[in-house]
A and B are shown apart, each in its own frame.
Chain A
């Protein structure tokens, strides 16, 4: 019988700790599938964040180096400059990348570091229990914006992909989602493109993934998936934000 589905080799035989309906598990799998498909498991090094994905090294069967909270792009810079032939990617949430790690992300992008950032945007701090993130939508309730995010008091949701696209050092940035089969396929394609660009020495690449967090959004997994299309995508429109292929 022909095998049509199985666990990617770049994933360990471990059960994800992520909540039911969480987008992390899907994204992990997509990354692992792409690494398998490109045949780069031997040279891939991942840099997990502080946040829900802090234990990513328990799931990925590739070399991984934990970064302090927000410092993924600085750690990735140090690794990539030392090992330019390896595939180096950071995996970061919205608090990690767009709040405490804004400077590290912005400047790694501006230097055009030849690394890939997988940016998980679920509009909350997940692991710490659903506090307001830099990407929390206006009006969205969180444990630290109980009546809903108020622009006057809390500021606006940060669109990092658009901001980073303005920098000359960035070469490819796409915003995707993992809430529907079609979006999952698009995300997989985007990750592969980003990794391929890195292998081709193109420069800084980032895939932003709108990722459902049913637990902290206090929704069923199905409602959370719908909310991404119906609400979140209005503030964070999916699509290719920048794609300049060429030697950087």
Chain B
């Protein structure tokens, strides 16, 4: 196993190519340009590999749609404002049940915002994002190694459920360098019958999202819904750490979870029993894990680099049980572990004094 030092954005490209991605289209936007440049440099070296610098984010996602229907493992990447533009195509791919991987290296928003790390796109990512009744699988890595692993998983999940998969990271993970070992990609399992390649000697087929008849459209919606239910049953992932004796649980993902790990270490050193639940899939959301902990733990602190979005999912998971606190910094501010440790101490001690009353 060769361990190499590599930047997050490059890792996505390398893992994608190793996983068999043969079609990439993208449009320049910071802080993910290194990924587009990596694909420009490397995907064309692989047999059948296509790189296109698209004229727009909209064109890029629609190229992915075409390439995916034609049987390619296809990927596009962007950052927040660009992901907004791609939503039409993501919705269409969900409707058409086409696999595809979309990378969002989030930056501050709304609007053009800035180019600093943020988690402001949680709602957009986990609620479908575009129009219509659909979901996308959302993977949220917290290290460069996990970025490599989840990028490979993303292609498998996209094929398995014939659905778009989002990799939701931020400028911090995209820009940082860490040692990485690339895993062995699994052989692709994707039925040839889903691929449009001309009717050949057989019957012609078509792929479409337009279903004018209300009952047939409803049937399609329920069919998608059943698929999403199956994904919810099988694909929830999360990491739990230092939870065994915890009085207070932090719930954080991605870069915020890394910060939380640092803060928890400090808090533990100061004698506070604090643990972490880190959702790895943001949709489907690992609500069952959070719910189970509510039997033992009274206080939960949701920590995000936004004004409180995953907070809703945590409250839904707990359904009124326990106390849910929130700490967040939007706009591209990256809080420090020291800062978060102070917040932890505040809630921890408040809780203590309540208990003693």
Contact = CB atoms under 8 A, between A and B. Distances in A.
B201 A74 contact: no
A98 interface: no
B55 A81 contact: no
Nearest to B55: A107
Contacts of B68: 78
A75 interface: yes
Nearest to B203: A61
A219 interface: no
A47 to B, nearest CB: 8
A67 B56 CA distance: 16
Contacts of A111: 52
A73 to B, nearest CB: 8
B58 interface: yes
Given A76-B66, A78-B67, A41 B199 contact: yes
A110 B25 CA distance: 16
B70 interface: yes
Interface stretch (B88-96, B117-125, B348-356): B88-96
Contact of A62 (B62, B89, B204): B204
A79 B204 CA distance: 16
Interface residues of B, number: 40
Interface of A: 41-45, 47, 50, 54-55, 57, 60-68, 71, 74-83, 86-87, 103-104, 106-107, 111
B59 A103 contact: yes
Interface of B: 22-23, 25, 50, 52, 54-56, 58-60, 62-72, 74, 88-89, 92, 96, 196-201, 204-210
14 contacts: A45-B70, A60-B204, A63-B204, A66-B209, A67-B62, A68-B62, A78-B23, A78-B62, A82-B22, A83-B71, A86-B70, A104-B56, A106-B55, A107-B54
Given A66-B96, A81-B67, 14 more contacts: A43-B198, A64-B206, A66-B208, A66-B209, A74-B54, A78-B70, A79-B66, A80-B66, A82-B71, A87-B198, A103-B55, A103-B58, A104-B62, A111-B52
A172 to B, nearest CB: 22
Given A43-B198, A78-B66, A57 B23 contact: no
B198 A44 contact: yes
Contact of B198 (A62, A67, A75, A106): A62
B74 A78 contact: yes
B70 A71 contact: no
A57 B63 CA distance: 20
Contacts of A41: 198-199
A104 B59 contact: yes
